[in-house]
Amino acid sequence: MEHLFERGLGPRNPGGGSEGGRALLRINYESVLSGLPDAVVGVDEALRIILWNGAAEALTGKSARRVQGRTLKEILAPDSSLVRHLSETLRSGESRSEAEATIEGGDGRPIPVSIVTAPIAGRTGTVETAVAVLRDLSRIRQLEAEVRRGETLAAAGRMAVGLAHEIRNPLSAIRGAVQLLRKELGDEARWGEYTEVLMKEVDRVNRIIELLLDLGRPVQLRPVPLNLHQLLERVALLSEEMAGSRGVRIVRRYDPSLPPILADEDRIVQVFHNLVRNAIDAMPRGGRLTLATRLSLNPLFTKVDLGSGMRQLVEVQVSDEGEGIPEALRAKIFDPFVSTKERGLGLGLALCHRIIEEHKGAIHIESVPGKGTSVSCFLPIAR
Ligand SMILES: Nc1ncnc2c1ncn2[C@@H]1O[C@H](COP(=O)(O)OP(=O)(O)OP(=O)(O)O)[C@@H](O)[C@H]1O
Ligand SMILES: [Mg+2]
């Protein structure tokens, strides 16, 4: 069915021509609706679905053919926001809106959406149908989370720089005193054990401070064109022995046609080293650790402005077949000091985030409990 919209553009129409400046603007509403990025859902008085555009299909994972002729309450939970708002609009004849609602996605997970409804009056003037427009907010939420994460890290880093200064001096005094003590106590093994522990722990605190300082201080990046695959091989070599001893097999899936990336070699090696270590740690009973590269297909991260023009991004994925990251932990995973490991500092991912951000890239984690985790790093190419 083609809906036509007729409108006289009058004398302002530049191509006025022979019809005296009058033009017909024909709009096929169905194609407009199907091309909209927002989901549009229409219902009649009985909440029977009469309109379900392409974006509604994508959002809910339910095809228009499947929902046709059924009521909204059969398709969605009867107490869901959308059902409630549309029912109220039909009843009151007034528009309703909610900035922070959720709707069940195709995989059963809640998707954050904003909802606006509007009544549509029939020929007699009474409200016979209502439509709702739903906007998927998950991408916006994801970007907001990125920004917040960056701010938390920057704040933690600033605090660390202040603290580190105060802690380092007493710490080196302690270390010096322990060394003297060791000398004084001579070879007696019993005391030696204690001084050993003291030294080890002091060094551990020192390492934590160094890492925190890395998070806090602005570093001077020295980005140069780098062969990504050589770099990943360096990382793989560093971890090969540890992986082997844990029954972890490293699998490569490289796109050989990728151009060089623009990165600071030492910093980027740090990132992948941390990610590979995490992946190995996640598979205590062994499994596959996959290193994959390709040009980014993620619509959020395809290009970046480096000041000297737009650069394409490549995606480097480090995937494991481990236990995955519990839902409750996911939001905090990039925060410093979040760790589930006995000897973990919880600084690895915080540092990765910081370094990738310095490169104007992005880092993104997908994890399915019981199946595994996949960390994607997006980095700009060199030209
Ligand atoms: N690939 C993964 N699979 C499952 N859980 C992971 C994975 N990567 C990270 N995690 C979880 O995120 C937490 C934080 O990781 P992060 O690398 O920041 O710190 P860590 O590994 O615990 O300590 P470290 O500072 O030594 O890296 C981990 O303790 C772990 O619970
Ligand atoms: Mg780690």
What value does the mean pLDDT of the chain take? 86
Cα–Cα distance between 158 and 152 in angstroms, integer? 10
Distances 225 to 170, 262, 353, 383 between C-alpha atoms, Å:
42, 5, 21, 9
DSSP strands (E only) in 198-237: 224-226
User: Which atom of ligand 1 is found nearest the CA of 322?
Assistant: 3
Atom of ligand 1 nearest to the CA of 320: 1
Instruction: For 334-346, write each residue's pLDDT tens digit.
Output: 988 899 998 888 8
Starting from the CA of residue 337, give the closest ligand: 1
**Residue bearing the CA closest to ligand 1, atom 19:** 346
The residue whose two tokens read 């995955």 is 324
Alpha carbons 158 and 175: distance in angstroms, whole number = 26
Rounded CA-CA distance 47/80 in Å is: 13
- Other C-beta atoms closer than 10 Å to the C-beta of 317 total 17
Q: Which of 82, 335, 379 is nearest to 212 (CA)?
A: 335
> Nearest bound ligand to CA 318?
1
What's the confidence (pLDDT) of residue 325? 95
In a mutational test of the pocket of ligand 1, which residue from 153, 204, 339, 368 has the highest number of ligand atoms less than 8 Å from its CB? 339
pLDDT score of 86: 97
Q: Which residue lies with its CA nearest to atom 1 of ligand 1? A: 279
Region of 176 please: left (phi>0), alpha (psi -120 to 50) or beta: alpha
pLDDT of 12 above 90? no
Instruction: Work out which ligand 1 atom sits closest to the CA atom of 349.
Output: 18
Of 214, 278, 367, which is best to mutate to test ligand 1, by the most ligand atoms within 8 angstroms of its C-beta?
A: 278
Residue 293, beta-bridge partner list: 316
Q: Ligand 1 centre and the CA of 220: distance in Å?
A: 26
Q: What are phi and psi of 338, to 5 degrees?
A: -100, 110
Assess contact for 47 and 83: CB atoms under 8 A: yes
Ligand 1: residues within 6 Å at CB? 274, 278-279, 282, 320, 322, 324-325, 333, 338-341, 344-350, 373
Q: What are phi and psi of 364, to 5 degrees?
A: -145, 135
pLDDT given for residue 339 in this prediction: 93
- For residues 284 and 321, the answer to whether their CB atoms sit within 8 Å is no
Query: What local confidence, expressed as pLDDT, does residue 23 receive?
Result: 52
Pick the ligand that lies closest to the CA of residue 207.
Answer: 1
Mean pLDDT of 53-75: 93
Place of tokens 């000398």: 183
Consecutive H or E run containing 162: helix 138-185
φ/ψ of 315, rounded to 5, equals -110, 130
Three-state DSSP class for residue 343: coil
Ligand nearest to the CA of 339: 1
Ligand 1 atom 17, closest CA: 348
Distance separating alpha carbons of residues 145 and 58, to the nearest angstrom: 23
In the chain the domains, ranked by start, together with CATH numbers, are: 36-136 (3.30.450.20), 141-216 (1.10.287), 224-380 (3.30.565.10)
Residue 238 near residue 273 (C-beta atoms within 8 A) = yes
* All residues at 6 or more sequence positions from 364 whose CB lies less than 8 Å from its CB, including other chains: 298, 301, 375, 376, 378
Is the pLDDT at 129 greater than 50, yes or no?
A: yes
CA of residue 338 to ligand 1 center, whole Å: 8
pLDDT in tens, 166-191: 888 888 899 999 999 988 888 777 78
Distance 348 CA to ligand 2 centre (A): 4
Alpha carbon 359 to its chain centroid, in Å, reads: 17
Between strands 248-253 and 287-295, the pairing is parallel
Look at residue 9 in the predicted model and tell me its pLDDT: 30
What is the chain's Cα-based Rg? Answer: 29
Q: Which of 204, 215, 349 to mutate to test the pocket of ligand 1 (most atoms within 8 A of CB)?
A: 349
Q: Which ligand 1 atom is at minimum distance from the Cα of 344?
A: 23
CA 112 to chain centre: 15
Q: Which protein residue's CA is at the shortest distance from atom 9 of ligand 1?
A: 278
Long-range contacts of 90-94 (CB under 8 A, 24+ apart): 90/43, 90/45, 90/47, 90/119, 90/127, 90/129, 90/130, 93/119, 93/121, 93/127, 94/119
Q: What is the DSSP string of 94-136?
A: ---EEEEEEEE-TTS-EEEEEEEEEEEE-TTSSEEEEEEEEEE
User: Which atom of ligand 1 approaches the CA of 347 most closely?
Assistant: 25
> How much distance in Å is there from the Cα of 341 to the middle of ligand 1?
7
| pLDDT tens per residue, range 15-31 | 444 444 455 566 777 78
Distance from Cα 319 to the centre of ligand 1, integer Å:
13
Q: Report how far residue 303's alpha carbon sits from residue 249's, in angstroms, rounded to the nearest whole number.
A: 32
Question: Does the pLDDT at position 139 exceed 90?
Answer: no
pTM higher than 0.85 for the full model? no
Q: What is the pLDDT of residues 31-44, one digit of tens each?
A: 888 888 899 999 99
